Chain A
Amino acid sequence: MNYPIWVVPIFGGGWIIGIIAIVHVFLSHFAVGGGAFLALTEELAYRRKDENLYAYLRQHSRFFMLLTSVAGAVTGVGIWWAISLVNPDGTAVLIQNFTLGWAVEYVFFVAELATVFAYYYTWDKLTKEQHLNLARMYFGFSVMTLVVINGILTFMLTPGHWLESRYWLEGFFNATYWPSLVLRLLIMFALAGMYAMVTSSQIKDQQTREYVVRFCAKWLLPIFFIGPVAGYFYLANVPQAAIETVFNGVHASGVGNFSVLARALYLSLILSGTVIVFAYIGPYLNPRGLTVRISILFLICGLTVTGITEWMRELLRKPYVVYGYMYCNGIRKESVDKLNEGGFLAQSKWSTITALPHGQNDIELGRNIFRYQCMSCHTENGYRGMKKLLGERDRDAIEGFLKTIKSRKKEDNPYLGIMPPLVGNDDDLQKLASYLCTINGQAEPSPAVSSKAGANSQY
């Protein structure tokens, strides 16, 4: 509400962030887990004096460097670009609160990039010991980027005592910090094994191929044993209301009383289970039989589990971007009373200075409210489109619905756990209703819809 936002038609801004973020997760997790893989495999090659293994590592490190440093860095910048345009208020909170944290993360990231380039380009220039040390250094730097980012990511779901103290380290080392760190490391090791299966399934020498493929399968073992324990501790520290959202969240009565989050959870469990079985009966039991095509499909399964689980974690925060502090539309929880009394438009900084292209009438002002309060999740006629959601509701029904979602009492507002309460005074609600009526074709010539440029000149 304090900055201009980017309106993405049809897909909505959330998807832009989501797609870039998920791709970045795939790459960044590989960057850390793959770092461990490089260091350990090179250690193995060094101890065994195995030139075939060295040859494989050379090949794999090229794939690794290109994927993590080029694509990873591009998508990393892409996330900043997307979140600052789609959710500038949320981005501002993270930057202002963790300025030092971001700076530290950036230092480690630059060190990580420098090391991976050095690693790849010094295969024949350094001694084997020196090169192995470079691999270890790379792993150390990459883990440190995770150590920092993990604090900021977990803060968004469990800010804990930060809500009272506003001291950044209390937000950083929050309740889910350690279980999340362990979980992410385990996922990274598993993904590193799966990525490496794609490259190792192409090794020409059959004996080396079988050895490396089986070695890759073992990288999935830690998450199989430790993952459920870390997952338990993670969920035990997530707010109970967020857990309830998983099973009672967005109902789809037409297809059953289960939420999309619950279905995502089941999918995550099914895919996780099959990934483990796959790793055992495929690359472990029959390493010779693992073809490139099958290993790519396997990797897709692993990435799907990771993507679905990340998406679930993001949705757990709903309706907040920082749990208990800022709603996903950038409105601070503590500001709701003030905005309700004084009106949303009147106190929304950006909307007071922006010029409306079609004049200051109710519909255009209502569109502005929609843009700042609803478009972080909804579109007009696309993903979570209002046209479909409003259906055949007439103006009275729309106004009634707006009053419902304005309420902050759970018994009056069934959407409270998953949507921020609508904010604004009665005049704002009238304007928003006028605009919504134009989306589902219910707009009628009425005094409320007619131009009131003079009456609204304060905006």
Chain B
Amino acid sequence: MTSSNLPTNKIGNWLEDRLKLSAIAQMAQKKEVPLHKHSIWYYMGGIAMLFLAVQFVTGILLMVYYVPDLESAHASILKINSQIQFGWFIRSLHSWGANLMIAVVFLHLFSSYFMKAYRKPREITWLIGMLLLVITMAFGFSGYLLPWDDISFFATKIGLDIASKTPLIGPTLAELLRGGENIGQSTISRFFVIHVAILPLVLLGLLAGHLVLVQMHGMSKPPGIDTPEKPCAKEKFFPNFFLRDLLVWILSFNVLAVLVTLAPWGIGPEADPFAPAPLGIKPEWYFLSMFQFLKLMPAFVGPFEGELVGIFLIAAVAGALVMVPFWDDGKSEGRSTLATMYGLAVLIGFIAFTIWGAIS
């Protein structure tokens, strides 16, 4: 055997016959990424996927030691943090990774929004993306209770109380999630199953759809970037953009590593359902803007309960955002400007209420 690459070719041919790798390679080489001043935002989806992968791996490892039981949940997290070799590291990767993932998903959402990536033919991609955001936040909400410390307990309680105010489905939904009148063993069990089984399955399905559509329609370009007079430069996805994507992943992972090692995730005292709620209890940062907005609502607005009106307003704002492909289809300059202004207002409102909620 004189040719050193013979085994490689054999393996390559074997795989090619069965997996048609050349077709995938051709597709990857055909895919192009537009190069323009906003290209940096194309990395956000990939970074979110990286953090999602971190969530899956660390989540599986945490499941080995976590016990979803009222008496043992808190103790098992303490054990992970203090007795299991590198348990603190895995848990911090999971907790910080979740926060970074949600932050990047928000960046991905708003960057896609301002680049008008929701317009034809990407309406369904946009809608699935919005669903993915909801799923991501649901991951955060369901996972937050699992350590069963006092802050997570009362934050979940407040969150479910607010959810129960939603007309028609609210009370049923809250009771379904709680597994009864109060937060207890049934709630932990349900949140655990939702967190580790239901949400991952839904997310994977939606994500597959999202990615297929992205491949189908290619990368969107902001309006005015690619014109017949001034065509936009492009580069091949593979290997050029892909290799750079890997670099961005490494950098993003490094940010996560810095947070994990320099500010490892702690745990508060065990939840006591009979104790009064600690002062100034707040939800996680990604729910803070809504929480702060609802806090500002008066007890009653006319004949309606203030919180109910607040929920309606939030739903209306979110609804307009979700439906943007259908009221800004790119045919009207006025609507396009309106959509941009609306997005800016929502973004500024989100940031302002979050900061307000954090410092108040």
Task: Give the B-binding residues of A (Cβ under 8 A).
Answer: 252-258, 263-264, 266-267, 270-271, 274, 277-278, 281-282, 285-286, 288-289, 291, 293-294, 297-298, 301, 304
Q: Are A274 and B254 in contact (CB under 8 A)?
A: yes
- Interface membership of chain B positions 108-123, coded 1 if the CB is closer than 8 angstroms to chain A and 0 otherwise: 0000000000000000
Q: Are B40 and A286 in contact (CB under 8 A)?
A: no
From B240, B247, B261, give the contact of A278 (CB < 8 A). Answer: B247
A-B contact pairs, 15 of them (CB 8 A): A255-B81, A256-B87, A257-B83, A263-B264, A270-B257, A271-B257, A271-B258, A278-B251, A282-B244, A286-B239, A294-B244, A294-B248, A297-B251, A298-B247, A301-B251
Q: Are B250 and A286 in contact (CB under 8 A)?
A: no
Q: In the complex, A304 Cα to B250 Cα: how many Å?
A: 14
From A255, A267, A271, give the contact of B265 (CB < 8 A). Answer: A255
The 5 A-B pairs with the shortest beta carbon distances in the complex, nearest first, are A256-B88, A267-B261, A286-B243, A255-B266, A256-B81
Q: In the complex, A192 Cα to B258 Cα: how many Å?
A: 23
Instruction: Please judge, given known A-B contacts A255-B266, A286-B239, whether A263 and B254 are in contact too, CB under 8 Å.
Output: no
Q: Are B246 and A255 in contact (CB under 8 A)?
A: no
Instruction: Please judge, given known A-B contacts A254-B267, A256-B82, A274-B250, whether A282 and B243 are in contact too, CB under 8 Å.
Output: yes
Told that A256-B82, A258-B88, A277-B250 touch, could you supply 18 new A-B pairs with CB distance under 8 A? A255-B88, A255-B264, A257-B82, A257-B83, A266-B89, A267-B258, A270-B261, A271-B254, A274-B253, A274-B254, A281-B243, A285-B239, A286-B243, A289-B241, A293-B40, A294-B244, A297-B251, A304-B258
Residues on B with C-beta less than 8 A from A286 are 239-240, 243-244
**Nearest CB in chain A: distance from B358 CB, A:** 21
Q: In the complex, A370 Cα to B264 Cα: how many Å?
A: 30
List B residues 222-266 near A (Cβ within 8 Å).
Answer: 239-241, 243-244, 246-248, 250-251, 253-254, 257-258, 261-262, 264-266
From A264, A277, A293, give the contact of B261 (CB < 8 A). Answer: A264
**Nearest CB in chain B: distance from A127 CB, A:** 41
Q: In the complex, A278 Cα to B244 Cα: how many Å?
A: 10
Residues on B with C-beta less than 8 A from A252 are 264
A-B residue pair count with CB separations less than 8 angstroms: 76
Residues on A with C-beta less than 8 A from B246 are 281-282
Q: In the complex, A277 Cα to B243 Cα: how many Å?
A: 11
Residues on A with C-beta less than 8 A from B240 are 286, 288-289
- Interface membership of chain B positions 49-85, coded 1 if the CB is closer than 8 angstroms to chain A and 0 otherwise: 0000000000000000000000000000000011100
Q: Are B257 and A267 in contact (CB under 8 A)?
A: yes
Residues on B with C-beta less than 8 A from A293 are 40
Residues on A with C-beta less than 8 A from B241 are 289
Residues on A with C-beta less than 8 A from B266 are 254-255
Q: Are B81 and A278 in contact (CB under 8 A)?
A: no
**Nearest CB in chain A: distance from B267 CB, A:** 7
Smallest Cβ-Cβ distance to A253: which chain B residue:
B82
Smallest Cβ-Cβ distance to A267: which chain B residue:
B261
Q: Are B257 and A289 in contact (CB under 8 A)?
A: no
Residues on A with C-beta less than 8 A from B261 are 263-264, 266-267, 270
Q: Among A256, A278, A291, which residue has the most Cβ atoms of chain B within 10 A?
A: A256
**Nearest CB in chain B: distance from A297 CB, A:** 5
Q: Are B239 and A298 in contact (CB under 8 A)?
A: no
From A266, A281, A304, give the contact of B247 (CB < 8 A). Answer: A281
Residues on B with C-beta less than 8 A from A278 are 247, 250-251
Smallest Cβ-Cβ distance to B241: which chain A residue:
A289
Smallest Cβ-Cβ distance to B268: which chain A residue:
A254
Residues on B with C-beta less than 8 A from A291 are 244
Smallest Cβ-Cβ distance to B39: which chain A residue:
A291
Q: Are A289 and B267 in contact (CB under 8 A)?
A: no
Smallest Cβ-Cβ distance to B240: which chain A residue:
A289
Interface size of B as a range: 20 to 34
Smallest Cβ-Cβ distance to B89: which chain A residue:
A266
List B residues 261-299 near A (Cβ within 8 Å).
Answer: 261-262, 264-267
Smallest Cβ-Cβ distance to A282: which chain B residue:
B247
Which label, helix, strand, loop or mixed, suits the secondary structure of the B interface? Answer: helix
**Nearest CB in chain B: distance from A304 CB, A:** 7
**Nearest CB in chain A: distance from B325 CB, A:** 31
- Interface membership of chain B positions 76-107, coded 1 if the CB is closer than 8 angstroms to chain A and 0 otherwise: 00000111000111000000000000000000
**Nearest CB in chain B: distance from A260 CB, A:** 8
Q: Are A289 and B244 in contact (CB under 8 A)?
A: yes
Residues on A with C-beta less than 8 A from B258 are 267, 271, 304
Q: In the complex, A266 Cα to B250 Cα: how many Å?
A: 16
Smallest Cβ-Cβ distance to A286: which chain B residue:
B243
Q: In the complex, A113 Cα to B247 Cα: how many Å?
A: 36
**Nearest CB in chain B: distance from A266 CB, A:** 6
Q: In the complex, A267 Cα to B264 Cα: how many Å?
A: 12
Residues on A with C-beta less than 8 A from B253 are 274
Residues on B with C-beta less than 8 A from A277 are 250
Q: In the complex, A27 Cα to B42 Cα: how many Å?
A: 34
**Nearest CB in chain B: distance from A216 CB, A:** 14
Residues on A with C-beta less than 8 A from B82 are 253, 256-257
Residues on B with C-beta less than 8 A from A264 are 261-262
Smallest Cβ-Cβ distance to A305: which chain B residue:
B254
**Nearest CB in chain B: distance from A161 CB, A:** 36
**Nearest CB in chain B: distance from A25 CB, A:** 18
Residues on B with C-beta less than 8 A from A253 are 82
Residues on A with C-beta less than 8 A from B250 are 274, 277-278
**Nearest CB in chain B: distance from A302 CB, A:** 10
**Nearest CB in chain B: distance from A436 CB, A:** 26
Q: Are A285 and B243 in contact (CB under 8 A)?
A: yes
Q: Are A263 and B262 in contact (CB under 8 A)?
A: yes
Residues on A with C-beta less than 8 A from B247 are 278, 281-282, 289, 294, 298
Q: In the complex, A72 Cα to B239 Cα: how many Å?
A: 39
Q: In the complex, A297 Cα to B258 Cα: how many Å?
A: 14
Residues on B with C-beta less than 8 A from A257 are 82-83
Residues on A with C-beta less than 8 A from B254 are 270-271, 274, 301, 304
Q: In the complex, A293 Cα to B265 Cα: how many Å?
A: 30
From A256, A281, A304, give the contact of B264 (CB < 8 A). Answer: A256
Q: In the complex, A76 Cα to B31 Cα: how many Å?
A: 51
Residues on A with C-beta less than 8 A from B243 are 281-282, 285-286, 289
Q: In the complex, A258 Cα to B262 Cα: how many Å?
A: 12
Residues on A with C-beta less than 8 A from B81 are 255-256
Residues on B with C-beta less than 8 A from A281 are 243, 246-247
Residues on A with C-beta less than 8 A from B239 are 285-286
Residues on B with C-beta less than 8 A from A266 are 89, 261
Residues on A with C-beta less than 8 A from B262 are 263-264, 267
**Nearest CB in chain B: distance from A312 CB, A:** 11
**Nearest CB in chain B: distance from A392 CB, A:** 15
Smallest Cβ-Cβ distance to B235: which chain A residue:
A289
- Interface membership of chain B positions 168-179, coded 1 if the CB is closer than 8 angstroms to chain A and 0 otherwise: 000000000000
Q: In the complex, A255 Cα to B83 Cα: how many Å?
A: 11
Q: In the complex, A255 Cα to B96 Cα: how many Å?
A: 14
**Nearest CB in chain B: distance from A29 CB, A:** 20
**Nearest CB in chain B: distance from A291 CB, A:** 8
Smallest Cβ-Cβ distance to A258: which chain B residue:
B88
**Nearest CB in chain B: distance from A288 CB, A:** 7
**Nearest CB in chain A: distance from B147 CB, A:** 12
Residues on B with C-beta less than 8 A from A255 are 81, 88, 264-267
Residues on A with C-beta less than 8 A from B89 are 266
Q: In the complex, A270 Cα to B250 Cα: how many Å?
A: 10
Q: In the complex, A253 Cα to B261 Cα: how many Å?
A: 15
